[in-house]
Amino acid sequence: MPSKKDRQRVLAEIWATPTPVDIDFFDKGDEIVVTTAKRDNVVGWWLDIFTALYPNQTYREKNELVKIKSAPGVTIKLSRKTGLMKISGKNHWGWMVANFTDVLETANNESEELDDAASLMSDNSVTRYLQLDKNVEMVQDLLDMIPEGGGIMQNDFIMKLWKSLIDDWFGCGAVVYIVTPRIDEERLFQIFLLMIRNKGTAFSVTLVIPEKGPGGEKFKKTLETTSRMMKKTRTPRANKRLVSDVKMQWALENLRVHHENFSTNFVAAYKDDEAEVLTTTAHFHKSHFHSNQKDNVCYNKLPTEDLKRNYLLPLGLSLNY
């Protein structure tokens, strides 16, 4: 059996598989507990998936507990009462690694296409924490409020636009860059939550930041503080962890960090030949976002090659990022 850290890394890779509803894993050592955001007929939904994968398999049910022997030394238990799935047995880990990505891919293929308003693809508790709904019209409305050629905008507007743009770019699977000489743990936490909310869209994200900020603060220390925040933050309703160890592992491993010395601030994204960039004098830090601060904001669309040549290459970013 691999170490707990190695198991967590593998589970994070499996979790990254696109799914029609939010899925999570909890490694208990002798079993894996699987949860889902689906609220109705959870067991029936899982049984449909396993039936598609294992059409000759038989299932036993007793006292609202369905048991599936998916392989020798592997038992899957589905509780109609709690909706939990538990995978156990002496061969449970090997089976999980070899087969559960196929299970999730089958779930995605078997599910009916959901519209954006009804989709549970993102974690509802994360969405509530971010105070954000995926609404393309709202993003465009915010962009339309920026004067042509740019202008001075209020701190709360910049914060909302920053968050909404990143969410929109992640959602369409773009290549995203977040560039700032200074970031605090709350903004870094929000980036991780936006990543988790949009997993499965094939986006990539690079944070460009100096190793030390203007005030001497080390990014490494900010990252450590953010990791502690992710472990401590709980949902208001169920009082459960907002971000599980598996989701946290995935987010930490999928945020690229590029260290460079500079004093500019912008977020940018490209997909195919089209790019967007939002430049501002605001650091992505509480000193600009939590006070009655005013900063310059300018938004532009441009060819991807221009973004790479004029914004990314001067910061030491290679074109294959």
Say if residue 11's pLDDT is above 70. yes
pLDDT at position 113: 43
Residue 147 contacts by C-beta under 8 Å, 6 or more apart in sequence? none
pLDDT at position 118: 37
Could you tell me which of 268, 252, 254 has the C-alpha nearest to residue 304?
A: 268
Could you tell me which of 193, 299, 288, 170 has the C-alpha nearest to residue 243?
A: 193
Say if residue 120's pLDDT is above 60. no
Strands of the sheet with 65-71, listed across from one edge: 23-27, 31-36, 85-88, 74-79, 65-71, 59-62
188-229 pLDDT, tens per residue? 999 999 999 999 899 999 999 999 988 788 999 999 999 999
DSSP state of 58: -
22 vs 255, higher pLDDT: 255
User: Helix or strand or coil: residue 120?
Assistant: strand
| Mean pLDDT of all residues in 171-178 | 96
222, 183 in Cβ contact below 8 A? yes
pTM for this one?
Answer: 0.90
Q: How far apart are CA 84 and CA 45, in angstroms?
A: 12
16-30 pLDDT, tens per residue? 999 888 999 999 999
Mean pLDDT of all residues belonging to the chain = 90
Could you tell me which of 195, 203, 208 has the C-alpha nearest to residue 250?
A: 195
pLDDT at position 268: 98
pLDDT at position 49: 93
288 vs 98, higher pLDDT: 98
Q: Quick count: other Cβ atoms within 10 Å of Cβ 33?
A: 16
Say if residue 104's pLDDT is above 90. yes
Q: How far apart are CA 177 and CA 197, in angstroms?
A: 17
Say if residue 136's pLDDT is above 80. no
pLDDT at position 133: 59
Say if residue 32's pLDDT is above 90. yes
Strands of the sheet with 204-208, listed across from one edge: 151-154, 294-303, 274-280, 266-271, 175-179, 204-208, 255-258
Give me the count of residues in the chain.
321
